[in-house]
Structure 1
């Protein structure tokens, strides 16, 4: 008997109920999925470092017409660096906090991402997933908020909800993670420290790169892989929480169990992408518990599919999927669900 069947056959609320409790869902995931394995964690590090080295060697030594392929490969490998830092930020990489902090800062450096700033803001996303006008990851605007916004802001929002979705992560990075005022006073010193680490790194790294390789070297070795990384970050984040069937809820109606189980999407990508990105696409178990390391996500998802398969959302990455999202999922009305920009005219 599956966990879903047990819910349906008991007096406890069913998976369709707004009273679905997160703790009861988490209890159905095997305990071994939460166990940290330092060997597997450091093997992921070895994989990501090796992949990045191979990518940069390709950029250096392969003919110029191979550059688009080496940029895509290297940028995807660097997305794996982010995922390692992502595990560290959730304290699921290592048992010791200082190891997580060191690993997180190191692997975020090439991406010019201040580790603690991201960690603190990302924790907010997990605490308020799909909570309308509160979630800070990729919150859908209501029609009212869109219509009252500045025209230039509306134009920008239309772009990142349309065919330019892949630049959304760049603006999220730039606008939120370098302002001390965005953080509580108790966390501000950590945020400022991470900003300082990134600024010092950039002040050394970029001039050295330009002096040794020229401005074309800056574009070739850093900018293009970095843009590919942001393509994946924008795509993963958008698809994780944005298909027509996903619901956002106002604060009064929001339920953590429902949001984390039914408000996130598992999406299958080409296997080489999943390997280089350490299964970040296996997203439902990660939202049920951030304590599950990336190397255990597939095992956890298999259990979730067995127990809750009738209520979770699964997709396969394709341009048709991205077209559906960018054509339909523009604004969110709590009463009607997703609405298009054209519906306001």
Structure 2
């Protein structure tokens, strides 16, 4: 049964934008949503989880083996077409392995914390992700999704932060603003830069995250992202990255730098593409608001997530991280192999508060890029403007 309740108007809250958009603020509880989902969906099976690791590694190593024959192809066109195919497919499959490491960070892989953190450390370090550092910041994201001052990723810039005058003094009002106008070529260039380098820049400098003082980085154990008792784990995560980089350097010395670039670096850039695209579109959409402290709560924030399908094959290889992301935000310890079933129940329970967007991915990305530029400095419910 769908949750029907929405929050009643509360004196002192600034919800004018919500009223103008016809956005109804939900007032359901986590208990209501959880009770709508069968209990077995929350069961974690260590053996089953390991079968997915084996599944992904088998595909990835098979692709790597097949790629060893590419340079024997006499036709340059066919040879480069084969390499491009390898890079794209390997990037997709490696993103799936990243998702399994991400499950470990949520303790969704196994009931054992030791197994979760051991497997997660290996998988994420191999993909140049500082496991514990990202686990801590990602936990903050889940605890504050859609919160203007506490969320950790793709936090909207405010009107004043992008250099626009106050709304009542702005000749362009709610926009579109000429300050954001880009030629299609420039827009595509900037989008490409974000897709390829946005993820490592987020890890290095917290790009798109909260504006912490000093060097906010997943490699800085003393930055404001982390608590004092988390510092050693941050150091350990950095050591994991250094071990992987040393292994890549060794492979470069044995097989040549070009081989490392072709077999690892370029697929790694495709992983960056998928991680950035998926995360961006899960939480950035003109239809979705953000809440400020007076109105935000966990369940309202969790509902500010969009499920999207990237097609049957990619959804499968990505372990349905995109088309079941609403379920993941409500219950992050739920294994991915139960998320499709749970989503059917969550969809019924949330009713109109469940967000799914069937817009083709390229169109959705272009729309969000152009229409999600800033939010107002004031208001307890704020929507993107351009």
Return the TM-score normalized by structure 1: 0.87
> Does the CA-based 8 Å contact 1:132-1:249 persist in structure 2?
yes
Return the TM-score normalized by structure 2: 0.78
CA distance in 2, matches of 1:110, 1:311: 38
Partner of 1:343: none
SS in structure 2 opposite 1:143?
A: coil
CA distance in 2, matches of 1:201, 1:330: 37
Partner of 1:267: 308
> Does the CA-based 8 Å contact 1:138-1:238 persist in structure 2?
yes
CA distance in 2, matches of 1:20, 1:216: 55
2:283 pairs with 1:284: no
2:187 pairs with 1:171: no
SS in structure 2 opposite 1:267?
A: coil
> Does the CA-based 8 Å contact 2:26-2:353 persist in structure 1?
no
Q: Which runs of 5+ in 1 are unaligned?
A: 149-153, 341-345
CA distance in 2, matches of 1:160, 1:124: 31
Partner of 2:365: 322
Q: Where do residues 26-105 of structure 1 align in structure 2 (5 Å cutoff)?
A: 26-62=34-70, 63=73, 64-65=79-80, 66-105=82-121
CA distance in 1, matches of 2:60, 2:154: 28
Partner of 2:352: 310
State the Cα deviation string for residues 132-175 of structure 1 (Å, max 9, x = none): 13211221111212329xxxxx9xxx999855441322211222
Structure 1 runs, 4 residues or longer, greater than 6 Å off: 158-161
Q: CA deviation at 1:309?
A: 3.2
Given candidates 228, 234, 253, the residue that maps to 1:185 is 228
Q: CA deviation at 1:295?
A: 0.7
Q: Which runs of 5+ in 2 are unaligned?
A: 9-22, 74-78, 165-179, 181-186, 206-216
CA distance in 2, matches of 1:30, 1:160: 46
Are residues 338 and 160 of structure 1, via their aligned partners in 2, closer, same or farther at CA, if it must alter by over 3 Å? farther
2:359 pairs with 1:339: no
> Does the CA-based 8 Å contact 1:131-1:248 persist in structure 2?
yes
Q: Where do residues 138-153 of structure 1 align in structure 2 (5 Å cutoff)?
A: 138-147=154-163
Q: CA deviation at 1:81?
A: 1.3
Alignment root-mean-square deviation, CA? 2.4
CA distance in 2, matches of 1:108, 1:309: 36
- Count of aligned residue pairs for this structure pair: 324
State the Cα deviation string for residues 97-122 of structure 1 (Å, max 9, x = none): 11111100111122111111110110
Q: CA deviation at 1:212?
A: 1.9
Are residues 178 and 90 of structure 1, via their aligned partners in 2, closer, same or farther at CA, if it must alter by over 3 Å? same
2:254 pairs with 1:255: no
2:243 pairs with 1:243: no
Are residues 160 and 177 of structure 1, via their aligned partners in 2, closer, same or farther at CA, if it must alter by over 3 Å? farther
2:117 pairs with 1:110: no
State the Cα deviation string for residues 299-329 of structure 1 (Å, max 9, x = none): 1101112222322111234211111111111
Are residues 230 and 163 of structure 1, via their aligned partners in 2, closer, same or farther at CA, if it must alter by over 3 Å? closer
Structure number having the greater helix percentage: 1
> Does the CA-based 8 Å contact 2:319-2:336 persist in structure 1?
yes
CA distance in 1, matches of 2:255, 2:103: 33
